[in-house]
């Protein structure tokens, strides 16, 4: 087919900023078609899915709570993706962080441990996630193995590890044989920000991460070397930046943030260890990172949008008996739309007459 | 205790487990030889499994189900091709998006079939050969998918190495600019290769839900699409090595089940994670030995004429 992509010079900032909005719009149109195909009135479905959750203080809090892990993981992924390192195993790093952090919560359970427990859990969560993330980094640096596949395989390994612990050694003996740990002690739980509601201290951690990442990525030499290593590896090598150190660095940061997200989720909204501790946050965060243009503030906005697809999905599941997979379709479509919109903003598609080959 | 019948049954189950992987990785190998890294295999496979199951269950025809699965896998591969080949987006991101979308679509389609069961695709008995001791059942008493996977393997091996189309496809994967300069339609060839990969992934999904485990369960692919991707690396992009890899991994995943059956006191979760650990070990071993030799030079690089 005689089609040609032509690079647009001087693309305005306005056009670039429009891409995520266009992507969102396209996703909504696809969503409407999907609702009709599923036999639902699209207007009613949209209201339940996207509008009603926004009009209720309780679900608004829930929105922020759900955005928190996406934001933390997404920021970490931005470090990797800017360096052109494809960490797609954040879900496993999330679980690994949750495991190491929970270990402390369970080890100190029922003791008179002081308020140091929770901060120590967060640190352990970061270490657990970072160590899990450093495995694919090491395999890539040392052996040249694809970090895409190794980081992803480690997701399954981490999940089986979690499953083993909550069904075996960590199972609550007084839990009526349910595969879950004891409920964490108060000193091992994220404090709530308000008496009434679900907003917890993890949101503060996530906002600090936004500020810190914005600074590091935008204003420091470290951020510059990550960016340059990703976009022009040879130039980076000439400039004396060590590619291996960047690889270790971005995977450690990415894993640590995913691990912190994991332990915050377990010590916050969940409050104990159980076989499933994530509705796919590690994968959805990939979309958050892309939709947010690999910029921490953009990822903040994108996380809220994506959190809405979780909340709306739950609402549609309850009130319309719609399968939860609607959420995945929305998320996948959104990622496809943002990728396409990015190209269409920067390039113009031209028909080429004549003999030119496609 | 371990008589011929048991060994034969184990062999047969290894072949069955390996067939899903072989089908999916064959398609991916062709796509990658044309220069496109398709991370959407898992999504195309599960859409194939869901559509195949839904069609077979509703129509009562396994053949229709299989055809529908192949078409569904191909249709989803067009989404990936549209993004990565025609819009020249990042192949990793496009593949992931395709997988996420595929998992969602499959879940929607499959949700009304949870709890139902199908009669599995029948074994095709071959006279005399099937009755051979030990290997009879394993090699000759299989369902049509097994034979299809071996025929496809032969076709891909021959096609890539010995036909003009295979030569052009490999040229596009090695150097898209050179192939373009010679007048080959790079994007059209890549699209066809990706579509072939999607069709194979759909067929692999049909094998999963119509023959291997003849019921629908969400997330029933359980990462097999990703393992298929790893197998392509493991094979150093050579079809015959793919056969060895797929059967090796089939053996690991079956072994894991049988060890659980013996009750050795090893937690089942450790055994279940074996195929994934084995994949990592295989990837490391192959990259340590080969350092990425055999990978098509243009793999993963988007092609935009005259950019």
pLDDT for A124-141, tens place per residue? Answer: 999 999 999 999 999 999
Asked whether A322 and B98 are in contact (CB, 8 A), the reply is: no
Angle CA A206–A209–A213, to nearest 5: 150
Measure in Å the smallest separation between the Cα of B109 and chain A Cα atoms: 9
- Cβ contact, residue pair B292, A144, below 8 Å: yes
State the ipTM, two decimals.
Answer: 0.90
- Chain A residue numbers with beta carbons less than 8 Å from the beta carbon of B107 are 323-325, 328
- Cβ contact, residue pair A157, B186, below 8 Å: no
- Total length of chain B: 307
- The predicted structure's pLDDT at residue A1: 47
Asked whether B205 and B73 are in contact (CB, 8 A), the reply is: yes
CA distances, B49 to each of B23, B45, B77, B79, B116 (Å): 13, 6, 15, 18, 14
- Chain B residue numbers with beta carbons less than 8 Å from the beta carbon of A154 are 276, 280
- Chain A residue numbers with beta carbons less than 8 Å from the beta carbon of B229 are 149
Residue with tokens 């992507």: A23
CA distances, A196 to each of A54, A191, A213, A268 (Å): 18, 12, 31, 15
From the list B42, B96, B97, B109, the residue with the least C-alpha distance to B73 is B42
Closest residue in B to A150 (Cα) is: B280
Contacts with A, B 113-172, CB within 8 Å: none
- Cβ contact, residue pair A157, B276, below 8 Å: yes
Distance (Å, whole) CA A161 – CA A150: 16
Backbone angles phi, psi at A348, to 5 degrees: -115, 135
Question: Is the CB of residue B291 less than 8 Å away from at least one CB of chain A?
Answer: yes
Higher pLDDT, B279 or A347: B279
Contacts with B, A 81-110, CB within 8 Å: 86, 88
- Chain B residue numbers with beta carbons less than 8 Å from the beta carbon of A325 are 103-108, 111, 218
State yes or no: pLDDT of A346 exceeds 80.
no
Measure in Å the smallest separation between the Cα of A45 and chain B Cα atoms: 15
- Cβ contact, residue pair B218, A325, below 8 Å: yes
- The predicted structure's pLDDT at residue A139: 96
Question: Is the CB of residue A238 less than 8 Å away from at least one CB of chain B?
Answer: no
- Chain A residue numbers with beta carbons less than 8 Å from the beta carbon of B99 are 332
Tokens of residue B80, six digits = 């990936």
For residue range B101-153, what is the model confidence (pLDDT) as tens digits? 999 999 999 988 888 888 877 777 666 666 666 666 666 667 889 889 999 99
Question: Is the CB of residue A24 less than 8 Å away from at least one CB of chain B?
Answer: no
- Going residue by residue through chain B (307 aa), what tens digit of pLDDT does each one get? 456 777 777 888 888 899 999 999 999 999 999 999 999 999 999 999 999 999 999 998 899 999 999 999 999 999 999 999 999 888 999 999 999 999 999 999 998 888 888 887 777 766 666 666 666 666 666 788 988 999 999 999 999 999 999 998 898 888 888 888 888 888 899 999 999 999 999 999 999 999 888 889 888 888 999 999 999 988 889 999 999 999 999 998 888 877 777 767 788 889 889 889 999 998 898 888 875 567 888 888 888 776 4
Distance (Å, whole) CA A224 – CA B88: 26
Would you place residue A331 in the very low, low, confident or very high pLDDT band (cuts 50, 70, 90)?
very high
Distance (Å, whole) CA B151 – CA B147: 6
User: Within 10 A of A248 (CB to CB), how many other CB atoms are there?
Assistant: 19
Q: Once rounded to an integer, what is the mean pLDDT over residues A303-326?
A: 90
For residue range A46-94, what is the model confidence (pLDDT) as tens digits? 898 888 888 888 889 999 999 999 999 999 999 999 999 999 999 999 9
The pTM of the full predicted model, rounded to 2 decimals, is 0.91
Q: 3-state SS of B22-57?
A: HHHHHHHHHHHHCCCCCCCHHHHHHHHHHHHHHHHH
Size of interface A-B (CB pairs under 8 A): 157
Would you place residue A358 in the very low, low, confident or very high pLDDT band (cuts 50, 70, 90)?
very low
Q: Estimate to the nearest angstrom the gap between the alpha carbon of A224 and the chain centroid.
A: 23
Interface mutation vs chain B, best among A77, A82, A148, A288, most B CBs within 10 Å? A148
Distance (Å, whole) CA B46 – CA B39: 13
Distance (Å, whole) CA A282 – CA B121: 37
CA distances, A335 to each of A219, A316, A321, A353, B57 (Å): 28, 21, 25, 32, 32
Return the percentage of chain A with pLDDT > 70, whole number: 94
Asked whether A260 and A129 are in contact (CB, 8 A), the reply is: yes
State yes or no: pLDDT of A147 exceeds 50.
yes
The number of C-alpha atoms within 13 Å of A216 and in the hemisphere containing its C-beta is 18
Contacts with A, B 218-277, CB within 8 Å: 218, 222-223, 226, 229-230, 233, 267, 269-270, 272-273, 276-277
- Reduced to 3 states (helix: H, G, I; strand: E, B; else coil), residue B93 is helix
Q: Once rounded to an integer, what is the mean pLDDT over residues A1-27?
A: 75
Q: At what angle do helices A57-82 and A221-231 cross, to 10 degrees?
A: 70
For residue range A210-251, what is the model confidence (pLDDT) as tens digits? 999 999 998 888 888 888 888 888 888 888 788 899 999 999
Burial class, A320, CB count within 10 angstroms (exposed 0-12 / middle 13-18 / buried 19+): middle
Interface mutation vs chain B, best among A153, A161, A276, A284, most B CBs within 10 Å? A153
Contacts with A, B 31-70, CB within 8 Å: 39, 43
β partners of residue A6: A348
Question: Is the CB of residue B101 less than 8 Å away from at least one CB of chain A?
Answer: yes
- The predicted structure's pLDDT at residue B183: 84
Q: From the list B86, B92, B287, which residue is nearest A148 (CB)?
A: B92
Q: From the list A148, A153, A358, which residue is nearest B188 (CB)?
A: A358
Closest residue in A to B82 (Cα) is: A340
- Cβ contact, residue pair A331, B104, below 8 Å: yes
Contacts with B, A 292-351, CB within 8 Å: 323-333, 335-336, 339-340, 342-344
- Reduced to 3 states (helix: H, G, I; strand: E, B; else coil), residue A169 is coil
Burial class, A64, CB count within 10 angstroms (exposed 0-12 / middle 13-18 / buried 19+): buried
Backbone angles phi, psi at B301, to 5 degrees: -95, 120
Q: DSSP label at A311?
A: H
Would you place residue A114 in the very low, low, confident or very high pLDDT band (cuts 50, 70, 90)?
confident
């Amino acid at each position: 087919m005689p089609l040609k992509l032509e690079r647009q010079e001087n693309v305005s900032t306005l056009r670039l900023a429009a891409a995520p909005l266009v992507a969102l719009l396209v996703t909504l149109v696809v969503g409407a078609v999907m609702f009709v195909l599923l036999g639902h009135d699209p207007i009613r479905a949209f209201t339940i899915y996207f509008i009603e959750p926004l009009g209720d203080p309780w679900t608004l809090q829930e929105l922020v709570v759900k955005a928190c892990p996406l934001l933390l993981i997404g920021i970490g992924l931005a470090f990797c993706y800017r360096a052109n390192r494809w960490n797609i195993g954040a879900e496993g790093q999330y679980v690994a962080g949750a495991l190491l952090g929970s270990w402390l919560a369970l080890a100190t359970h029922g003791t008179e441990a002081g308020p140091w427990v929770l901060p120590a859990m967060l640190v352990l969560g970061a270490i657990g996630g970072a160590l899990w993330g450093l495995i694919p980094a090491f395999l890539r640096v040392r052996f040249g193995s694809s970090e895409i596949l190794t980081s992803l395989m480690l997701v399954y390994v981490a999940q089986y590890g979690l499953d083993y612990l909550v069904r075996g050694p960590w199972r609550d003996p007084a839990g009526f044989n349910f595969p879950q740990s004891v409920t964490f002690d108060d000193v091992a739980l994220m404090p709530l920000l308000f008496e009434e509601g679900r907003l917890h201290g993890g949101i503060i951690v996530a906002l600090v991460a936004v500020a810190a990442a914005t600074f590091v990525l935008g204003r420091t030499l470290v951020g510059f070397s990550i960016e340059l290593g990703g976009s022009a590896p040879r130039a980076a090598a000439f400039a004396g930046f060590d590619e291996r150190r960047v690889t270790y660095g971005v995977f450690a940061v990415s894993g640590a943030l995913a691990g912190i997200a994991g332990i915050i989720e377990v010590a916050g909204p969940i409050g104990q260890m159980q076989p499933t501790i994530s509705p796919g946050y590690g994968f959805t965060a990939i979309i958050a990172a892309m939709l947010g243009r690999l910029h921490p503030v953009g990822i903040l906005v994108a996380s809220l949008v994506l959190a809405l697809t979780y909340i709306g999905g739950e609402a549609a599941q309850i009130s319309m008996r719609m399968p939860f997979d609607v959420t995945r379709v929305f998320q996948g479509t959104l990622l496809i739309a943002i990728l396409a919109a990015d190209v269409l903003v920067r390039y113009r598609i031209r028909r080429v007459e004549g003999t030119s080959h496609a | 205790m371990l008589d011929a019948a048991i060994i034969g049954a184990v062999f047969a189950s290894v072949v069955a487990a390996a067939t899903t992987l072989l089908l999916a990785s064959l398609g991916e190998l062709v796509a990658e030889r044309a220069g496109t890294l398709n991370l959407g295999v898992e999504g195309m496979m599960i859409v194939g499994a869901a559509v195949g199951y839904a069609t077979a269950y509703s129509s009562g025809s396994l053949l229709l189900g299989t055809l529908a699965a192949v078409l569904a896998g191909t249709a989803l591969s067009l989404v990936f091709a549209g993004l990565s080949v025609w819009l020249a987006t990042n192949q990793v991101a496009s593949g992931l998006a395709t997988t996420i979308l595929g998992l969602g679509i499959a879940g929607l389609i499959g949700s009304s079939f949870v709890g139902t069961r199908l009669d599995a695709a029948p074994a095709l008995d071959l006279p005399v050969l099937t009755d051979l001791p030990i290997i009879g059942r394993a090699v000759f008493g299989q369902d049509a998918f097994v034979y299809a996977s071996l025929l496809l393997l032969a076709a891909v091996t021959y096609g890539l190495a010995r036909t003009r189309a295979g030569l052009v496809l490999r040229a596009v994967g090695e150097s898209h600019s050179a192939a373009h300069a010679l007048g080959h339609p790079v994007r059209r060839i890549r699209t066809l290769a990706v579509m072939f990969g999607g069709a194979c992934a759909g067929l692999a999904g049909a094998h999963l839900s119509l023959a291997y485990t003849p019921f629908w369960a969400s997330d029933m692919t359980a990462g097999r699409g990703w393992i298929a991707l790893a197998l392509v690396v493991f094979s150093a992009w050579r079809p015959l090595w793919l056969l060895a890899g797929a059967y090796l991994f089939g053996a690991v995943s079956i072994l894991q089940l049988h060890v659980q059956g013996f009750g050795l006191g090893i937690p089942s979760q450790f055994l279940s994670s074996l195929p994934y650990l084995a994949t990592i070990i295989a990837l490391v071993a192959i990259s340590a030995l080969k350092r990425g030799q055999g990978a098509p030079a243009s793999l993963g690089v988007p092609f935009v004429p005259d950019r």
